Structure 1
């Protein structure tokens, strides 16, 4: 009886890990395919700014 419960627990952990990996992969794909954000600069200041903030950051190390 104890081994049956242990086997069920191990299978549930495997299913949970597979589910989390699938969700993380779908989130990564969604971030990869989104359009770049549009940066609105204030019209009061006519200063040229760098556009580094508009670069999308990849989802690194999510898994």
Structure 2
């Protein structure tokens, strides 16, 4: 079985599909940030930046698995 990976081409430069997944996960996390701010996500953790990075990694993993 072979996979047909579609590279992202910007200005004639080809980027791996992972770059597209990473940008998509970043966009999802940016959309989630206002919602997380309303529920007090940052106040639940002693290091909110590490918690937010962990959330990004979980979203990125989910995007990679689902695509």
TM-score by length of 2: 0.35
Higher relative contact order (CA 8 A, sep 6+): 1
Relative to total residues, which structure has the larger helix share, 1 or 2?
2
Bigger radius of gyration among the two: 1
TM-score by length of 1: 0.37
